[in-house]
């Protein structure tokens, strides 16, 4: 048993490098490092490795020495996140106890799994895994430079430097940090309402960081761990998928292609709407989704190559479970996996492929109709009006005016077929950049040499799925209106970059003797030079969307921040907090500026307690107009207005019992009609802000 748990030198170095890098991130955001955080970050890579290694051995998947740590870590992190997520939801355990349970499960899985099988075909170069891990950790650190520090104090104001979505993530991380289940706690911005359906699973990791490091806030865990570790996941996904499809050298090249080559809009068509590294920096859940997608594709590659049905089913299971990490990944991965199986499954006749394909198409259409009817998630059905890329970019204005703006942004469905094809081509070129001509050249080269392989169809399939979402679906009425026009592009870019990296290295290696040092030295040297890209662009990647500058460097009052922190440290996890959230006209000039961000959850993110009305009704009008929450928010705004006018103890007590509010933050000069003995005795004050304990 102990032999199965023993790590070799390269695996120990990789694990310790991950731990040390995580502590480095925390040191540059938090004021100090708690002993619990040191323990957590030391054990986390080991837990993921043991869990992934044991799972792969149970699946009878042999690995080359260079793959041993990266692939096990990739699979283990995916499985560990899901297991920890469900432990916390359904077991009556504090989060720290759930973390301990995951550690025991990982040890048991690794100890009871069959003996490792070592794959042949490559030289024994385990040190390449160390080189790959160091590259990934360095790139992740450089891409997240502008998160350190993320929150600064300037005079009597607090400035949040990164993209404002960090607040949204922080409020949900705060709920997962609590020992009570998020299902029990409910919506953080509408206390008492059920938690909406969403991809929450990745929040469990930063929540664990907060649980093991009491001095670290939920907002800080977004910066210290959740975003940087997402870039780590992205790098391991690229390395593992490329080594599965090709060689060890391809894995190193894939890391460089995904993490070190600039995003397409920085050097090609300037549609920053499709900037790969920017969207990952502000919506890092996509990187976790890419990691899950890659794990599923690795299993499907093995299953289709060896014709093992259990691996194929396991791969589909990974792609479906990826919805818990990022639903957009599952919306790409599930159709991709099914179509790939229909096209490439060994032993199937043409008739069988057609029958299975038609059956899957009918089932998929019925599923989309059902989801649309019950109003769950973005609309997946094709539409005829206000659809796709051209409409989105013209309304959202995420590209500067000029030649490309005028060429692309014309009424889409009322144009000749030539212009429609032009828009499609420009969309692909905007998304892929340099990878598009490389892809075309490699396809032509493979066709001439008749060297097609199983995975060569994958980029094309992903591209078709992306184009369907980008050009054929209508705007979403739940969440961001461009959910499907935008998010799936990252999977297209990632797959194309990894595929091109494998193709280029394969063509390059054929000119040298097997296991020659020259190609490896060249790729490593080029990767070292390309580190300049994240070193330069990582300093302001979150601020690179100049057209939407109001979403960064957001300011709010220091007194409010101090009151929120007081609530965080002096209240129970089930308490409800509230501040003055005046209704805001979503069409007003200052609605989306840093001066009046009542649509963003400052209160529940910083106080880490549920708000009775955490966001003004303007948010619900903008992002959830088709849900009951919009009407509830309007009713609660009216209730709060009447509550502030309560002029005697019994009336105020009635509102307190009705709303459940315990803590109320009053802004400077805010009129309150409450009894004098309450108004004049707040429990805490700062910079003119007053905090009242109503119970």
Assigned domain for 456 exists: yes
* Residues 125 and 212 placed together within one structural domain of the fold: yes
- The answer to whether residues 199 and 339 belong to one domain is no
Within a domain: residue 492?
A: yes
C-alpha–C-alpha distance, residues 377 and 370, integer Å = 11
Where in the sequence is the domain holding 657, given as residue range(s)? 553-693
Contacts of 657 (CB under 8 A, 6+ apart): none
Distance of CA 506 to the CA centre of its chain: 31
Q: Are residues 11 and 146 in the same domain?
A: yes
* 59 is a domain residue: yes
Q: In this structure, are residues 428 and 268 in contact, taking their beta carbons and an 8 Å threshold? A: no
Q: What is residue 512's predicted lDDT score, i.e. its pLDDT? A: 67
Dist. CA 460–CA 425, nearest whole Å: 14
Whole-number Å distance between alpha carbons of 487 and 667:
38
What confidence score (pLDDT) does residue 154 get? 87
pLDDT of residue 416: 56
**Is residue 215 in a domain?**
yes
DSSP string over 149-170:
S-EEEETTEEEE-S-THHHHHH
Residues 219 and 109 in one domain: yes
**453 and 581: one domain?**
no
Q: What pLDDT is attached to residue 152?
A: 86
Beta bridge partners of 453: none
DSSP-assigned letter for residue 482: T
| pLDDT (tens digit per residue) in 464-503 | 999 888 888 877 766 677 788 888 999 999 999 999 999 9
Whether residues 302 and 256 share a domain: the answer is: no
Q: What is the pLDDT of residue 122?
A: 53
The pLDDT score that the predictor gives to residue 405 is: 58
Q: Which of 481, 510, 539 is the last residue of a domain?
A: 510
Nearest to 318 by CA among 427, 387, 241: 241
Q: Are residues 626 and 501 in the same domain?
A: no
Residues 221, 368 within the same domain: no
**Six-digit token string for 395:** 């309304």
Q: What is the C-alpha radius of gyration for the chain, rounded to an integer number of angstroms?
A: 26
Residue 232 CA to residue 596 CA, distance in Å, equals 35
Number of domains in the chain: 3
Q: What is the pLDDT of residue 274?
A: 86
Longest CA–CA separation in the chain, Å? 88
Query: Is the backbone peptide bond immediately before 149 cis, with ω within 30 degrees of 0?
Result: yes
In the prediction, which pLDDT does 548 show?
Answer: 67
Q: What's the CA gap between 618 and 615, in Å, rounded?
A: 8
* Residue 591 dihedral angles phi and psi, to the nearest 5°: -65, -40
Pair (482, 382) in one structural domain? yes
pLDDT for the residue 437 = 93
Instruction: Judge contact between 295 and 318, C-beta under 8 A.
Output: yes
Indicate whether 475 and 572 sit together in one domain.
no
State the Cα–Cα distance between residues 436 and 430, nearest whole angstrom: 9
Token reading at 660: 């459940």
Note whether 246 and 363 are same-domain residues.
no
- How does pLDDT run across 239-273, given as a tens digit for each residue? 999 999 988 899 999 999 999 999 988 888 777 88
Where the chain has pLDDT below 70, the residues are: 1-3, 29-32, 117-124, 384-420, 450, 477-479, 512-516, 546-550, 581-599, 624-626
Phi, psi dihedrals of residue 188, rounded to the nearest 5°: -70, -20
521 domain-assigned: no
Q: How far is the C-alpha of 500 from the C-alpha of 412, rounded, in Å?
A: 31
Assess if residue 625 is contained within a domain: yes
Note the pLDDT of residue 108.
93
pTM for this prediction: 0.92
Which residues in 427-468 belong to E strands, given as ranges?
Answer: none
**Residue 363 lies inside a defined structural domain of this protein:** yes
Q: Is residue 526 part of a domain?
A: no
Can you say how many angstroms the Cα of residue 338 is from the centroid of all Cα atoms in its chain?
A: 24
- Best CA proximity match to 565, nearest among 31, 2, 9: 31
CA distance 418 to 145: 44
- Same domain flag for 392 and 303: yes
DSSP 599-613: TS-HHHHHH-SEETT
Domain boundary among 242, 260, 278: 260
Per the DSSP assignment, residues forming a β-bridge with 94 are none
């Amino acid at each position: 048993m102990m032999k199965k748990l023993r790590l070799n030198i390269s695996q120990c170095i990789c694990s310790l490098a991950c731990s040390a890098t995580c502590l480095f991130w925390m040191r540059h955001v938090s004021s100090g490092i708690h002993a619990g955080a040191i323990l957590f970050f030391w054990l986390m890579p080991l837990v993921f490795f043991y869990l992934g290694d044991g799972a792969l051995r149970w699946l009878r998947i042999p690995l080359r020495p260079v793959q041993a740590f990266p692939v096990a870590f990739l699979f283990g992190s995916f499985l560990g996140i899901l297991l920890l997520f469900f432990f916390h939801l359904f077991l009556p355990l504090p989060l720290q106890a759930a973390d301990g349970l995951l550690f025991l499960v990982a040890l048991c899985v690794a100890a009871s799994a069959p003996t490792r099988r070592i794959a042949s075909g490559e030289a024994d170069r385990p040190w390449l895994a160390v080189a790959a891990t160091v590259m990934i950790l360095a790139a992740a650190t450089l891409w997240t430079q502008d998160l350190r520090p993320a929150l600064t104090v300037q005079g009597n104001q607090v400035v949040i430097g990164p993209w404002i979505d960090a607040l949204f993530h922080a409020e949900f991380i705060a709920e997962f940090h609590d020992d009570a289940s998020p299902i029990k706690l409910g919506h953080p911005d509408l206390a008492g309402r059920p938690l909406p359906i969403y991809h929450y699973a990745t929040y469990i990791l930063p929540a664990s960081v907060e649980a093991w490091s009491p001095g670290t806030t939920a907002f800080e865990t977004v910066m210290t761990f959740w975003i940087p570790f997402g870039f780590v996941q992205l790098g391991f996904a690229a390395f593992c998928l490329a080594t599965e499809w090709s060689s060890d050298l391809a894995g190193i090249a894939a890391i460089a292609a995904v993490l070190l080559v600039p995003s397409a809009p920085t050097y090609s068509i300037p549609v920053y709407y499709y900037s790969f590294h920017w969207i990952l920096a502000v919506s890092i859940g996509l990187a976790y989704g890419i990691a899950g997608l890659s794990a599923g594709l690795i299993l499907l590659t093995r299953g289709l190559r060896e014709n093992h049905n259990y691996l194929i089913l396991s791969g589909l299971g990974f792609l479906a479970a990826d919805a818990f990490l990022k639903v957009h990944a599952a919306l790409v991965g599930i159709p991709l996996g099914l179509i790939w199986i229909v096209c490439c499954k060994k032993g199937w006749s043409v008739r069988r492929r057609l029958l299975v394909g038609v059956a899957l198409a009918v089932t998929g259409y019925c599923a989309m109709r059902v989801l649309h009817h019950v109003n769950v998630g973005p609309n997946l059905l094709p539409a005829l009006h206000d659809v796709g890329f051209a409409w989105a970019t013209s309304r959202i204005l995420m590209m500067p005016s000029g030649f490309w703006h005028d060429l692309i942004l014309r009424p889409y469905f009322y144009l000749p077929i030539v212009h429609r094809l032009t828009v499609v081509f420009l969309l692909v070129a905007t998304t892929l950049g340099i990878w598009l001509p490389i892809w075309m050249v490699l396809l032509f080269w493979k066709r001439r040499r008749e060297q097609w392989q199983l995975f060569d169809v994958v980029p094309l399939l992903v591209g078709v799925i992306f184009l369907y979402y980008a050009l054929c679906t209508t705007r979403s009425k739940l969440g961001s209106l461009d959910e499907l026009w935008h998010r799936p592009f990252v999977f297209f870019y990632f797959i194309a970059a990894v595929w091109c990296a494998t193709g280029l290295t394969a063509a390059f290696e054929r000119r040298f003797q097997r296991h020659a040092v020259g190609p490896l030295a060249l790729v490593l040297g080029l990767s070292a030079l390309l580190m300049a890209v994240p070193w330069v662009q990582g300093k302001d990647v979150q601020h690179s969307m100049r057209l939407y500058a109001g979403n960064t460097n957001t300011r709010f009052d220091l007194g409010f921040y101090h009151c929120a922190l007081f609530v965080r440290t002096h209240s129970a996890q089930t308490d409800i907090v509230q501040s003055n959230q005046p209704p805001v006209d979503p069409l007003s000039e200052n609605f989306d500026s840093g001066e009046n961000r009542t649509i963003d959850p400052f209160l529940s993110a910083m106080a880490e307690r549920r708000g009775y009305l955490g966001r003004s009704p303007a948010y619900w009008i903008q992002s959830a107009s088709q849900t009951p929450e919009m009407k509830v928010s309007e009713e609660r705004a009216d209730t709060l207005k009447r509550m502030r006018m309560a002029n005697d103890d019994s009336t105020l007590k009635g509102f307190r019992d009705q709303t459940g509010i315990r803590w109320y933050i009053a802004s400077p000069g805010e009129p309150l009609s409450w009894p004098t003995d309450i108004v004049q005795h707040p429990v805490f004050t700062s910079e003119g802000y007053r905090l009242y304990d109503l119970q």
